[in-house]
Amino acid sequence: MNHRIKQGLCALCAGVLLSSAAGAINWGLWYGNGTGKPPNGEDSVQTLAKYGSYYMGDTDSKVIYLTFDCGYENGNTSKILDVLKKHHAPAAFFMVGDYLDTAPELSKRMGDEGHIVGNHTSNHPNMSKVSKTKFEQELTSLSKQYEQVTGRKLDPFYRPPEGSYTHDNLQWAQNLGYHTTLWSVAYADWDQNKQPSRESALKTLNSRVHPGAIVLLHAVSSTNAAILDELLTGWENQGYRFAYLSALPGLPDPAKTAIPSDCTFAVDGTAAPLTAYLIDGANYVSLRDCAAALRATGSAFAVGYDEATDTVTLTRGQMYEPIGTELKGTPDVTAMQARAGSKGLLVDGQTATVSAYTIDGANYVNLRDLTELVGGTVGYDETSKQVTLTSVN
């Protein structure tokens, strides 16, 4: 990694810095409101909201948004990803071009395991000092590079290098479809040669965390990799849960966190590897998985989709035609973003009500709701965590 980028990555602003750029703001925080209380930032929540920007979420909700800045790989990211998977804690990774060049497999793993990947610019310049053309080039170049490397599209979140920005920057980012994402919790973790101790890191982060916090950690930090499991466990024990940035208040179609279900499934006594997620504690199963599993039973149904009206159709009693991607079983992901399902559901031509979400482009439905529609019963053995579907005779 070139020296200029490394220098820039070490300039996390925990206080007010001066800038020669007109109207430049260097993001800083004042933690004087007390332990567990949201800090004051260089801009207010209200000002940032004008540009679809954030530095924290709802301060009345015990939700934490985990974010990691990825300037260069230092052997810690895989450890961080392992801990996140253990806790089913979604995070956002803000990427620069050098990271994509040098760690393409880790970059791909982030998206594959359900995490958000955001834009931290291609070359990590001080964006408060660049022209509009240069600003747009930095973001669009990184976006194209990420898609070329991973086959995925970046999520619409941008973090300004060094926390330096102008209000014009916020507007330019918004025009490009991004939400500028700052932070309300951070500490001096970015210099690999001056890593904080476990004790000081935990003390600082625990004193600063608060409801609705957007937490900034650096993936280069060996201390972060070492303490993350303990840190997340402690926050969970305090009643916090972890959410996607896409669930921030005020965003359209906010995402819910879908956790891979720890249940096993059986249909009429035969194991069925349904792809299933827990959303708000209930099992949501792939609609096509269920259709495939019930194909030869009295609860069989066919599945259709009208793209023009975004309507899913179920026809009871008809044989389902598999598409070849069903029944994959428990997904190997940390979590997934669950968004509102299709606009309509018709069962035998009649409008039906069912709780449903779209996860990674596929329809998932509440298992009990679906069973009521197509017939049969659902049972659950708490000891074995097995869900049993019994079809109509």
> What is the rounded distance in angstroms from the CA atom of residue 207 to the CA atom of residue 131?
39
Q: Is 277 exposed, middle or buried (0-12, 13-18, 19+ CB in 10 A)?
A: buried
Burial 306-317 (b: 16+ CB within 10 A, else e): eeeeeebbbbee
Structure tokens at 218: 């650096």
Structure tokens at 260: 């891979």
> What is the rounded distance in angstroms from the CA atom of residue 217 to the CA atom of residue 356?
34
**How far lies 169's CA from each of 43, 47, 179, 291, 380, in Å?**
14, 13, 11, 49, 53
Indicate the pairing of strand 63-70 with strand 311-316: unpaired
Residues 6+ apart with CB under 8 A from 107: 70, 95, 99, 100, 117, 146, 149, 150
Decide if 287 contacts 303 (C-beta within 8 A).
yes
69 is catalytic: yes
Indicate the pairing of strand 116-119 with strand 91-95: parallel
Decide if 338 contacts 364 (C-beta within 8 A).
yes
218 is catalytic: yes
Residues 6+ apart with CB under 8 A from 3: none
> What is the rounded distance in angstroms from the CA atom of residue 165 to the CA atom of residue 114?
29
**Quick one: DSSP state of residue 374?**
H
Catalytic residue among 87, 88, 120, 218: 218
Catalytic residue among 69, 98, 155, 189: 69
Catalytic sites, residue numbers: 69, 218
